[in-house]
Amino acid sequence: MNMPSNALPSAALELQPTTPALESPTRPFYWSVRRELWEYRSIYVAPLAAAAVFLFGFAISMFRLPAKMRALSGLEPTRQRELIEQPYVFAALLIMGTTFVVAIFYCLDTLHGERRDRSILFWKSLPVSDLTTVLAKASIPLVILPLVTVAITLVTHWIMFLLSTMVLASSNVGVAVLWTHLSLGRMSLLLLYHLVAVHSLWYSPFYCWLLLVSAWARRMAFLWAVIPVILLNAFERVVLNTSHFAGILVRRMSGSPHGGDMSTGHMSMDVLSAVPLSEFLSAPGLWIGLFFAAIFLAGAVRLRRYREPI
């Protein structure tokens, strides 16, 4: 009795056309940004720590809040709003200052660090271009950190508002004044405008310059970022007896095309939008700065392409 052969079915299976599996896009830019967030946890840990420290101090100050609200009752409404918003402005400035420092040290270390620990050899073996890598790194100070700042600041403001409401409601003092003169929606819009206009666009030449230095320097990247600026300013001062370059830097660091000063005696959220949007977008300094930022980024891309590990 003959047994049926399995050769035919197996051969038929081998001859059947196979349907290729659908491959999902690799999204190299997205994963490059994710890598930066994994490697540099200070991007979100540092502002969270600053917000936690401020909230701890703010919670302690709640013991004096009812007396403070009683003292505000005799002031004019504009002054009441300024004094009520003052701790919220301090919280926003503290978190923004923290993320600004994080952005500076991140830009100085990100391209220099991968050459120092020789991890650049691994990352260059991946199918990710130098342009994608540098743009992903530039997105951290220009996009990610401002968004992190907005999110943490808004949560901090809401916690402060809820604490103030509970304390004032328990003492039956000043709740109506707080709710009348404090607009978290308006403060959020002003904060978002300031971060996009100043920390993303106006400060972009600083961040891109630091990325260029990070891609070039073999050691002491901070000194190589600062020394050329000092020498150029000194050269102009000695040769031309002028200080135009220093004035440009001061206006750029002030966050305003006209060198506005936010350190005034009356603090409110209006200090975060000292320049109207139309005036800001029409300022020549903004577009000149973006032009130099693009040049610095192009230089960082080229340096990363040909720079060897340290």
Q: Identify the burial level of 124 via C-beta atoms within 10 angstroms of its C-beta, where 0-12 means exposed, 13-18 middle and 19 or more buried.
A: middle
Q: What whole-number distance in Å separates Cα of residue 181 and Cα of residue 250?
A: 34
CB 217 within 8 A of CB 236: no
**Model pTM score:** 0.82
Unique residue bearing structure tokens 């919280």:
91
Per-residue pLDDT reduced to its tens digit, 194-226: 888 888 899 999 999 999 999 998 888 889 999
What are the boundaries of each domain within the chain?
Answer: 39-259+273-306
Residue 285 phi/psi, 5-degree rounding, is -60, -30
User: 191 Cβ partners below 8 Å, 6+ apart?
Assistant: 92, 150, 153, 154, 269, 272
Cβ-count burial 191-226 (b if 16+ within 10 Å, e if not)? bbbbbbbbbbbbbbbbbbbbbbbbbbbeeebbebbe
Tell whether the model's pLDDT for residue 289 goes beyond 80: yes
> How would residue 80 be classed by pLDDT, with cut points 50, 70 and 90?
confident
34-73: pLDDT as tens digits: 999 999 999 999 999 999 999 999 999 888 887 787 777 7
Query: How many CB atoms neighbour CB 268 within 10 A?
Result: 19
| Mean pLDDT to the nearest integer, 236-255 | 83
Share of the chain above pLDDT 90, in %: 38
Distance CA 185, CA 182 (A): 9
